[in-house]
Amino acid sequence: MTYRGRHLLGIEPLHPTEITTLLDLADSYVDLNRRAQKRSDVLAGLTQINMFFENSTRTQSSFELAGKRLGADVMNMAMQASSIKKGETLIDTAMTLNAMHPDLLVVRHPHSGAVDLLAQKVNCAVLNAGDGRHEHPTQALLDALTIRRAKGRLHRLNIAICGDIAHSRVARSNILLLGKMENRVRLVGPPTLIPGPMKDLGVEVYDDMREGIAGCDVVMMLRLQKERMDGGFVPSEREYYHRYGLDAEKLGHAKPDAIVMHPGPMNRGVEIDGTLADDINRSVIQEQVEMGVAVRMAAMDLLARNLRAEAA
Residues that bind ligand NCD (CB under 6 A): 58-59, 130, 136, 139, 169-170, 223, 225, 263-264
Query: Least CB distance from residue 74 to ligand NCD, whole Å?
Result: 18
Helices (H) and strands (E) in the chain, counts: 11, 9
Which regions of 6-145 does DSSP assign to beta strands (E)?
Answer: 47-52, 73-77, 104-109, 125-131
Nearer CB in complex with ligand NCD: 46/259 = 259
Side-chain half-sphere of 238: how many Cα atoms within 13 Å? 0
Nearer CB in complex with ligand NCD: 205/266 = 266
* 3-state class (DSSP) for residue 92: helix
Query: Least CB distance from residue 288 to ligand NCD, whole Å?
Result: 8
Tell me the C-alpha to C-alpha distance, in Å, between residue 50 and each of 72, 196, 242: 12, 34, 39
| Chain residue at closest Cβ approach to ligand NCD | 223
In whole angstroms, give the CA distance from residue 167 to residue 103. Answer: 31
In whole angstroms, give the CA distance from residue 60 to residue 80. Answer: 14
Nearer CB in complex with ligand NCD: 46/175 = 175
Query: Least CB distance from residue 55 to ligand NCD, whole Å?
Result: 8
Nearer CB in complex with ligand NCD: 46/170 = 170
In whole angstroms, give the CA distance from residue 247 to residue 178. Answer: 24
In whole angstroms, give the CA distance from residue 194 to residue 72. Answer: 40
Nearer CB in complex with ligand NCD: 245/263 = 263
Query: Least CB distance from residue 142 to ligand NCD, whole Å?
Result: 9
Query: Least CB distance from residue 254 to ligand NCD, whole Å?
Result: 22
Query: Least CB distance from residue 238 to ligand NCD, whole Å?
Result: 20
CA 62 to chain centre: 12
Nearer CB in complex with ligand NCD: 102/292 = 292
